[in-house]
Amino acid sequence: MTTDLAALFREHHASLVRVLYRRTGDHDRAEDIAQETFARAVAAPPRNPRPWLFAVALNLVREDGRKAVRQGRRLELYRAESEQSSPAADQVLERSDNVRAVQQALATLAERDREALLLKAEGFNYDEIAETLGLAKGAVGTTLSRARRKLVEAYRTQGGRHVAS
């Protein structure tokens, strides 16, 4: 199929950045990976853009994550230092604490469960989730069931509040 790049960008960029941000917790990183993903889409226009874009982007996250692990100790030191030298952290909005709690809960999920959950939140149907993650369609329901349960339980375990309706 042919792909109109501008339309592809308009249609999927925000959604892709949203999933990447939720997946990584880092807006700049999400933007960078989205950019890289679209650059690759230009180089090799996908036939089925939506699953392709998200699959490539999530692969890049994993690839990026492996690099990050190699620098993990340094990053941890930096983070600890940063938190110590930031008394203003006490004034961070309650919402930020909640965001952190959700991010931490999300991080307890298996990679595939987490990604299936995030794709579902973007309106992907089971076929699209299966195609993006390389799952059998029949496994998507089980994956989502497990992911939802684990997310909620992990959130509650760390004292997270029920999110108001």
CB 150 within 8 A of CB 113: yes
Report if residue 112 touches other proteins, rule: CB under 8 A.
no
User: Could you say whether residue 163 binds other proteins (CB under 8 A)?
Assistant: yes
Q: Residue 71 gets which letter from DSSP?
A: T
Distances (CA, A) of 148 to 90, 138, 144: 31, 17, 6
Q: Measuring CA to CA, which residue among 69, 29, 52, 67 is closest to residue 133?
A: 52
| Residue 126 in the binding site for other proteins (CB under 8 A) | yes
Determine if 157 is a binding residue for other proteins (CB under 8 A).
Answer: no
Q: Exactly one of 27, 75, 78, 111 binds other proteins (CB under 8 A); which one? A: 27
**2 binds other proteins, rule: CB under 8 A:** yes
Task: Mark the segment that binds other proteins (CB under 8 A) among 68-76, 84-92, 101-109.
Answer: 101-109
How many Å apart are CA 81 and CA 71, to the nearest integer?
A: 16
Residue from 113, 120, 106 nearest 151 by CA: 106
d(CA 105, CA 85): 26
Q: Which is nearer to other proteins, 43 or 88 (CB)?
A: 43
CB-CB contact of 147 with 114 (8 Å)? yes
Q: Which stretch binds other proteins (CB under 8 A): 7-15, 74-82, 83-91?
A: 7-15
Q: Which of 75, 77, 80, 141 binds other proteins (CB under 8 A)?
A: 141
What does the DSSP 8-state code read for residue 102?
H
- For the bound state, the minimum distance from the C-beta of residue 74 to other proteins, rounded and expressed in Å, comes to 18
Region 35-54 residues binding other proteins, contact defined as CB under 8 A: 35-36, 38-40, 42-48, 51-52
Please state the closest distance from residue 46 (CB atom) to other proteins, in A. Answer: 7
Q: How far is the CB of 87 from other proteins (least distance, A)?
A: 22
Least Cβ distance, residue 76 to other proteins (angstroms) = 22
Strands (DSSP E) along the chain, which ranges? Answer: none
